Amino acid sequence: MYTTELDKQPEKKNVTPIDGAEDPALVEAFEARVAADEFIEPKDWMPEAYRKTLVRQISQHAHSEIVGMLPEGNWITRAPNLRRKAILLAKVQDEGGHGLYLYCAAETLGTSREEMIEALHSGKAKYSTIFNYPTLTWADIAAIGWLVDGAAIMNQVPLQRTSYGPYARAMVRVCKEESFHQRQGYEAMMHLMAGTPEQKRMAQDAMNRWWWPSLMMFGPPDENSPNTERSMRWRIKRETNDELRQKFVDITVPQAEYIGLTVPDDALAWNEEKGGYDFGEIDWEEFYAVVRGEGPVAKERMKARRDAWDKGAWVREAADAHEAKKRAAAAA
């Protein structure tokens, strides 16, 4: 998953208490079940705030998968050989599948896919900031697989044990399929770094452009992440943004070094004491600008999604009309 803390402003909110109108005995029983690592299923009683938070989180995750098809999709027709073409098409198709699984999981909470898609298209719903950057060269495809899927996996693996059953099961499927995404990206990067000077230049340039946006994928720093505590208690979030970001940096830096890529961060240094890397300050102004919809290709991404949906309307209607005719004929 991608962070779902995509509020437009870095504001500090108090943790909202569970709606007072709810029966305290039900709330208590619910909290006890979650605390006992039980799964909550669609028809079980749940606090409204839990339902709302989940719909928001799962649908944002789904939107990210679907919008995320676009930057990589941009290179399918230009993949440099048949093997890479098949890999990329299969990979982007997988992301579509992930979006589908997640929309279905969210639908069990009583919100239709149609409503979620409309919220995305109207700009009301958010998706991961990372997909608002353009893919300029083939190396961007390598960088996305390696860094972006790498960051996503870091978030997704713990969610296989999230408290909401349908979400957890969707994540099990997603994680199984993800296992090749990051590897194919890193492998493509290895080939570039073992290639011609032009290929190396492409690779380093992609690294320079995708590194910081990848770190932003984990969301705002913990002190600006107001709902973390409650989400952790509800097991719809399993580790904090900063913990995951640190983990990602620690794992990824040696991978970059191994193939001769430079991480574009002067402040990057191994910290023996904490057993991890210190790294530079993230440009949060940039992050919030992109959240506000001001990413370099935000308009292109939204237009592509709206076009696909609007131009597909007649197809969806036609199939329904056909089914209605068949049913009418069968009834007659």
Partner 1 sequence: MPSLPTISPEEEAKAKAKDGTSVGSFDAPTAGSRDEATIAYYLMLGDDALILGQRLSEWCGHAPTIEVDLSLANMGLDLIGQATHLLGGAAGAMGEGRDADALAFHRDVLDFRNCLMVEQPNDDFARTMARQFLYSTWHHMLLGRLAGSKDGHLAAIAAKGVKEVAYHRELASDWVVRLGDGTEESARRMAEGLDWMWRFVPELFHVDEDLQKVIDAGIAVDPREFEAEYREAIAAVLAEAKLTVPDDQRPILGGRHGHHSEHLGHLLAVMQFLPRAYPDAKW
Partner 2 sequence: MSGHDWPLWEVFVRAKGGLSHRHVGSVHAPDKEMALHHARDTYTRRLEGVSLWVVKSDDIIASDPDQAGPTFAPAEDKIYRHPTFYEIPDEVKHI
* 160 scored as a contact of partner 1 (CB under 8 A): no
Beta carbons within 8 Å of 326's beta carbon, 6+ residues apart: none
CA atoms 208, 277, 177, 195: torsion sign = positive
Site string for partner 2, 289-328 (x = CB under 8 A): --------------------xx--x--xx-xx-xx--x--
Confirm if 160 and 226 have CB atoms less than 8 A apart: no
Confirm if 248 and 265 have CB atoms less than 8 A apart: no
Burial class (CB within 10 angstroms; exposed 0-12, middle 13-18, buried 19+) of 10? middle
Residue among 311, 330, 331, 332 that touches partner 1 (CB under 8 A): 311
The piece of 32-40, 61-69, 118-126, 322-330 that touches Fe ion (CB under 5 A) is: 61-69
Confirm if 111 and 59 have CB atoms less than 8 A apart: yes
Task: Indicate the residue among 9 and 77 with the shorter CB distance to partner 1.
Answer: 77
Q: What 3-state class would DSSP assign to 212?
A: helix
> CA–CA separation, 192 vs 195, rounded Å?
5
Q: Which of 289, 91, 65 lies closest to 188, judged by CA?
A: 91
Q: Which does 104 bind (CB under 5 to 8 A by kind): partner 1, partner 2, Fe ion, none?
A: partner 2
Contacts with partner 1 by CB under 8 A lie at 66, 69-70, 73, 76-86, 89-90, 92-93, 96-97, 99-100, 103, 138, 153, 178-180, 182-183, 186, 188, 191-192, 195-196, 198-199, 251-252, 254-255, 258, 304, 307-309, 311-322, 325
Contacts with partner 2 by CB under 8 A lie at 41, 43-45, 93-94, 97, 100-101, 104, 107, 112-114, 117-118, 169-170, 173, 177, 309-310, 313, 316-317, 319-320, 322-323, 326
Contacts with Fe ion by CB under 5 A lie at 65, 95, 98, 149, 178, 181
